[in-house]
Amino acid sequence: MTVFSSSASASRTVELRDGLSITVDERGDGAAAGGSAILLLHGGGGTQSVAELAAALSEHSYVLTPTHPGFHGQPRPHWFDNVTDLALAYLALLDVLDLREVLLIGNSLGDWIASDMALHDVSGRLSGLVVMNSVGIGTDGPGKITDVRTLPPTEVGRLAFHNPSLLPDPATLSDAQKATAADNQSALELYAGEPYMHDPKLRRRLHRVTLPVLVLWGEQDGVVPAEYGRVYADSFANAYFQPIINAGHVPHVEQPDLTLDAIEAFVAGKLAEVTVG
């Protein structure tokens, strides 16, 4: 990737069709990128959960982080209510911005969206996919998603984080932050829907994705275990599974250096091979 100087994020709203608007945080130099970009898709924790990764990636790339409609108070049309809606909206966003050679990076729900985008990318705008502790597929056996809906927040945190010192402290949150977190959770449950956190048809379709895929997985994830990640990687035609030690559901938060190194090696290796070829 071309080296750019990092910059503070700037936010803009892009109007799509059918009354849908997407708010996007931008980092890096879009003009110098020449139409290439990283699209970074957040999970249930919202945009702040990937903000530090976005800043690090923008040292070398033009990075876009959209806010899913319904998260952080963003408007969501009543008809916009599933992962495929999100996937098609973000492909439309790439069309409007005329971006090509787009690397998708996601975490959790964001990866489910990215996988669906890869299946629907008829314009060939995507160059590769980085999956980090995703949801989205159904599995048999021990590698299943833990249903956290009935668990107290402290137990969810214990399952999601390897290092308890990195757990957010609810006592430090303002009333506004608590309200935002509740709204984000409601939006997550809407998009995740039933069956819980997956599309029963997705796994059998992922073999159609021929893009290079890096599947990074925090080994100590108690929400979506590493066995699930290996099944996810095996479902793609061209995927590489790489565990991240001493990390749970958000490896980019618990092990940012290891995560960034793995992404940079993937871009320099597998994506470079595709570009040269």
Q: What is the pLDDT of residues 239-269, one digit of tens each?
A: 999 999 999 999 999 999 999 999 999 999 8
Q: Angle at Cα 189 formed by Cα 169 and Cα 109, nearest 5°?
A: 80
Task: Give Dmax (Cα) for the chain.
Answer: 53
Can you tell me the mean pLDDT for 43-50? 95
pLDDT recorded at residue 164: 87
Q: Angle at Cα 137 formed by Cα 40 and Cα 87, nearest 5°?
A: 40
Q: In this model, does residue 83 exceed pLDDT 90?
A: yes
Cα 50–chain centre separation: 9
Q: Is residue 4 part of a domain?
A: no
CA distance 134 to 73: 24
Q: Which of 223, 171, 168, 166 is nearest to 192 (CA)?
A: 223
- Specify the pTM: 0.94
Strand pairing class (10-15; 21-27): antiparallel
pLDDT in tens, 105-122: 999 999 999 999 999 999
Q: Which of 179, 184, 194 is nearest to 82 (CA)?
A: 194
Q: Is residue 3 part of a domain?
A: no
Q: Is residue 1 part of a domain?
A: no
Q: Is residue 2 part of a domain?
A: no
CA distance 68 to 96: 17
pLDDT band at residue 4 using 50, 70 and 90 as cut-offs: very low
The proportion of the chain whose per-residue pLDDT surpasses 90, expressed as a percent, equals 81
pLDDT in tens, 159-184: 999 998 898 787 888 999 889 999 99
pLDDT recorded at residue 5: 39
Between 16-20, 150-154, 189-193, 273-277, the lowest mean confidence (pLDDT) is in 273-277
- Domain holding 152: CATH number? 3.40.50.1820
> 69 lies in which domain range?
10-276
Count: domains in the chain = 1
Q: Is residue 184 part of a domain?
A: yes
